[in-house]
Amino acid sequence: MKETAQRIFRNTLAALDISATIEQKLARRGTTIRIHGSTIDLAAFDKILAVAFGKASVPMAEGLGRVLASEYKIEGILVSLSRPPRELPGWKNFIGGHPSPNAESFAAGRVILDRLAQCGERTLIFFLISGGGSAMVEQPLDPAIALDDFRALNSALVTCGAPIGEINAVRKHLSAIKGGRLAAAAPRSMKITFGVSDVPPGQETALASGPTLPDPTTVSDVLRVVDQYGLAAKLPESIRAALRPNALKETPKPGDAAFARSRFALLLGEHELMHAAHHACEAEGYVCVCDDTTSDRPVEKAAGHLLAQLKALESANPGKGVVVLADGELSSPVTGDGIGGRNAAFVLACVEKIAGKKITVLSAGTDGIDGNSEAAGAVADGETAARAKKARLDPKDFQRRSDSHNFFSKLGDAIFTGPTGNNLRDLRILLSGEPRQP
> What average pLDDT does this structure show over 361-377?
94
CATH number of the domain that residue 47 is part of: 3.40.50.10180
Looking at beta carbons, which pairs linking 384-390 to residues 24 or more positions away fall under 8 Å?
Answer: 384/351, 384/354, 384/355, 384/411, 384/413, 385/351, 385/352, 385/354, 385/355, 385/356, 386/355, 386/356, 387/411, 388/351
Task: Report pLDDT digits (tens) over 79-130.
Answer: 999 888 888 989 999 999 988 899 999 999 999 999 999 999 999 999 999 9
> What average pLDDT does this structure show over 70-86?
91
Neighbours of 224 (CB within 10 A): 13
Report strand pairing: 262-268 vs 190-196: parallel
Q: What is the pLDDT of residue 136?
A: 95
Domain of residue 189, residue span: 18-268
Alpha carbon distance 182, 109 (integer Å): 10
Distances, alpha carbon 117 to alpha carbons 30, 111, 157, 189, in Å: 29, 10, 30, 10
Task: Report pLDDT digits (tens) over 137-191.
Answer: 999 999 889 999 999 998 899 888 888 789 999 999 999 999 999 999 999 999 9
- Give the model's confidence band at 436: pLDDT under 50 very low, under 70 low, under 90 confident, else very high: low
Task: Report pLDDT digits (tens) over 182-201.
Answer: 999 999 999 999 999 888 77
Question: What ranges make up the beta strands (E) of 284-422?
Answer: 287-291, 322-327, 359-365, 377-381, 414-415
Q: What is the pLDDT of residue 87?
A: 86
> What average pLDDT does this structure show over 231-257?
93
> What average pLDDT does this structure show over 27-49?
89
Q: Measured in whole angstroms, how far is the alpha carbon of residue 161 from the centre of its chain?
A: 17
Question: What ranges make up the beta strands (E) of 56-107?
Answer: 74-80, 91-95
Q: What is the pLDDT of residue 125?
A: 98
Spell out a b/e string for 290-310, using b for 16 or more CB atoms within 10 Å of the CB, else e.
Answer: bbeebbebbbbebbebbbebb
Q: What is the pLDDT of residue 437?
A: 58
Among 238, 268, 298, give the residue marking a domain's end.
Answer: 268
Regarding whether 424 and 363 lie in a shared domain, the answer is: yes
Among 240, 268, 296, give the residue marking a domain's end.
Answer: 268
> What average pLDDT does this structure show over 322-333?
91
> What average pLDDT does this structure show over 349-362?
96
Q: pTM for the full model?
A: 0.84
Per-residue pLDDT at 438 exceeds 70: no
Per-residue pLDDT at 207 exceeds 60: yes
Q: What is the pLDDT of residue 203?
A: 83
Regarding whether 418 and 343 lie in a shared domain, the answer is: yes
Q: What is the pLDDT of residue 276?
A: 94
Please provide residue 33's backbone torsions phi and psi, each rounded to the nearest 5 degrees. -125, 160
> What average pLDDT does this structure show over 234-253?
93
Structural contact between residues 371 and 341, judged by C-beta atoms closer than 8 angstroms: yes
Regarding whether 293 and 231 lie in a shared domain, the answer is: no
In a domain, 165, yes or no: yes
Structural domain count, the chain: 2
Regarding whether 283 and 262 lie in a shared domain, the answer is: no
Among 268, 283, 304, give the residue marking a domain's end.
Answer: 268
CATH number of the domain that residue 375 is part of: 3.40.1480.10
Q: What is the pLDDT of residue 292?
A: 87
Work out the mean pLDDT of the chain and round it to a whole number: 92
